[in-house]
Amino acid sequence: MATTDVTASTIEQTITDNDIVLIDFWADWCGPCKSFAPVYEKASEKHTDVVFAKVDTEAEQELAAQAGITAIPTLMAFREGILVFSQAGALPGPQLEQLITQVKELDMDEVRTKVAEAQAQQQG
């Protein structure tokens, strides 16, 4: 599967309709973004069970602001609609592979329990 562009109008559905979604926030003028693009594309071809999305922060400035993007490239990973990873900086291929493996191996019952506990603490 190749990468897919997402926008403010498609990001929520992309995240909720797929088990695992990686999102690369990038810009055309960004050197590290350009060097990360082929690594990301190659991983997308290998992991056809994962959605590899891209957000052009220049075209989608409001979306980037809502996502709290302060540096690019920034990579976010969602599993079952829950943000499980967010980090600025281009990842080398082996580290991206390691991240994908870790996201696939997550115990989502445990993640949901931790999310619920954190939300309860914030409210209490």
Q: Are 25 and 69 in contact (CB under 8 A)?
A: yes
| Catalytic-residue membership of 98 | no
Each residue's pLDDT tens digit, 48-97: 999 999 999 999 999 999 999 999 999 999 999 999 999 999 999 999 99
Q: Which of 6, 20, 23, 33 is catalytic?
A: 33
> What pLDDT score was predicted for residue 1?
55
| Catalytic-residue membership of 33 | yes
Give this prediction's pTM.
0.94
Q: Are 39 and 91 in contact (CB under 8 A)?
A: yes
Q: Share the mean pLDDT of the chain.
A: 95
- Residue 8, amino acid: A
Q: Which of 30, 55, 67, 75 is catalytic?
A: 30
Each residue's pLDDT tens digit, 107-119: 999 999 998 999 9
Q: What is the mean pLDDT of residues 9-19?
A: 96
